[in-house]
Amino acid sequence: MDTLLAFGIYLGFVLVNVLIVFYAERKIAAFIQDRMGPTEVGPYGLLQPVADLLKFLQKEDIVPQAADKWLFRIAPFLIFPAVFAGFAVVPIAPPIQHASLETGLLFLLAIVSLDVIGILMAGWASNNKFSLFGAMRSAAQMVSYEVPLTMSLLSVVVLYQSVDLSFIVQMQGSRAPSSLHWLGLPALPADLRAYGGLLTWNIVRFPFLLVPFLVFYITSLAECNRAPFDIPEGESEIIGGYHTEYSGFRFAVFFLAEYGMMILVSLLSVILFFGGWHTPLPNLGFLRLNDWTAAGTSVSGTIWAVVWLSSKMLLLVFFQIVMRWTYPRLRVDQLMTLCWKVLLPIALVSLLFCSLWRLWMVLG
Amino acid sequence: MQHGALSSFSMILLFIIGSALFLLGGLFAAYLLAPRKPNHEKLSTYECGEQPVGHAWGQFNFRFYTLALIFILFEIETVLLFPWAIVFGQKELIEATQGRWAWFAFIEALVFIGLLLAGLLYAWRRGFLDWARPRPKVPSVHSPVPHALYENVNRRYSPPSKQKA
């Protein structure tokens, strides 16, 4: 029963955030292009995403004559569950149950890369040249970004000696199981658990994690097929890429998976670098603000934990959206050069530095 | 809340099945709401309004084959680095061996990464990381008339406005 409740909470969390991000995307794009964006449906056009959803449901589901009918129909159903299964290991608040795998991060990276298979399937089954090019570009993109992405996350893993996401979140707040020192050096006297808040976030406690974070952020844009890396679905070159032939609800599923992926990678950033569900406000005197969200005993604390997690995540998504409407699209070979010749060496050096740092932390 | 590994994985299974069911529900709603009026034009492959030429299932240039091989090597490397990253700095292991474990594991990983890095540098130098760009062949004309003669003729017969002062 608990598990079903958790499933409902996660599904609601993802859907609500997708609606928010969808609305934000249109409004921010409009702002950047000096337009109004949605204004008609509801106050300030707030109900636009709901109207769009209804529209998707009402549209005819066209399966082209030339397509491989079965693969064409199945492909979207492979993509979204792959993304959503990734959410299962992401802790969103202390008392809400999630799949607390000890191999959480490894599992997440593995299952999320499965969606490329769905994309290839969709592109191939459409029997459309644009779709096939989109799918092939997607594969080319995957072989480029995947390695620096994983390497950048290993920098965090070596510092904590764990891939358990809930453990990494716990270590970034006032309720951490072991003492927290700035830079992880026991020689520095203050135990940051007394304050919590912003001070215990990874990015503040280990400022050098900014480098792997930036690498991860750039590669995660490629993972979501977002501009400037929307090579597989570049509208001005190959129409819609792998989803050119899709319409109606099946198109909506691609859409949902893309936005779900944006939310997932931003959540992962928040969890690994920005303190997960912990508030940035420290414990001050009798005001135990950090304990409030970290303890998971009170309902209000849980709600605040979700609110903090979502707002940090939405802030990162905001930058993703701004980037989409600011930067031009890269070519495939530019992406390869960027990933293999720039980001991968940076990620490797950062991994080396972080593992040496870990040795310093332990050996003192 | 403590959960064993089995219940965690069964929860993931629930997430996969549940999201698939959620999508099926949406598909059923769309089935009830959406019109179904297929015709020949609608079901044809989209090629920007042109009549589709042939079909897409042919041979095409798979240009990043070498890159895909390098990718597999590096992906396996990262998979092997995950367990290393989790054990190499464990406090208990290091204390039990008076610090020897840490340096041994660290240098071992250094050798491991170094070998692959050498491979990457080799591929880089040999140009395998470059997208094979087409090199267009500039047509050249072998004429017995010297090139300068053409230029002289051009200069002589071109209108005065185009002549350089």
pLDDT in tens, B77-126: 888 888 888 888 777 777 787 778 888 888 888 898 888 888 888 888 87
The pLDDT of residue A214:
92
8 Å CB contact of B71 and A140: no
Q: pLDDT tens across B35-60, in order?
A: 888 888 788 888 777 777 777 777 66
Task: Answer whether residue B62 shows pLDDT above 70.
Answer: no
**Which amino acid appears at position A313 of this protein?**
M
ipTM of the complex: 0.82
Q: Does A327 touch chain B (CB under 8 A)?
A: no
- pLDDT grade, residue B161 (50/70/90)? low
Token pair of B51 as six digits: 């009549």
Q: Does B33 touch chain A (CB under 8 A)?
A: yes
8 Å CB contact of B45 and A162: no
- Look up the pTM and report it: 0.85
Q: How many cross-chain Cβ pairs, A to B, lie less than 8 Å apart?
A: 215
A162 contacts in chain B (CB < 8 Å): 86
Distance in angstroms (rounded) separating the CA atoms of residues B13 and A83? 13
The pLDDT of residue A265:
92
Mean pLDDT over A307-319 rounds to: 91
A67 contacts in chain B (CB < 8 Å): 45
Distance in angstroms (rounded) separating the CA atoms of residues A270 and A2? 25
- List, as ranges, residues 26-55 from A with C-beta within 8 Å of B: none
Q: Does A185 touch chain B (CB under 8 A)?
A: no
User: String of b and e for B139-159 (b: at least 16 CB within 10 Å)?
Assistant: eeeeeeeeeeeeeeeeeeeee
Q: Does A23 touch chain B (CB under 8 A)?
A: no
What is the length of chain B?
Answer: 165
Nearest C-alpha in A relative to B63: A140
Distance in angstroms (rounded) separating the CA atoms of residues A281 and B45? 56
B88 contacts in chain A (CB < 8 Å): 158, 161, 355, 358
Rounded (5°) CA angle A103-A219-B135? 135
Token pair of A16 as six digits: 């609500």
Task: Answer whether residue B1 shows pLDDT above 50.
Answer: no
Chain A: closest CA distance from residue B97 (Å) = 12
Token pair of A27 as six digits: 């409004």
Q: Does B125 touch chain A (CB under 8 A)?
A: no
**Which amino acid appears at position A347 of this protein?**
A
**Which letter does DSSP use for residue A70 in this model?**
H
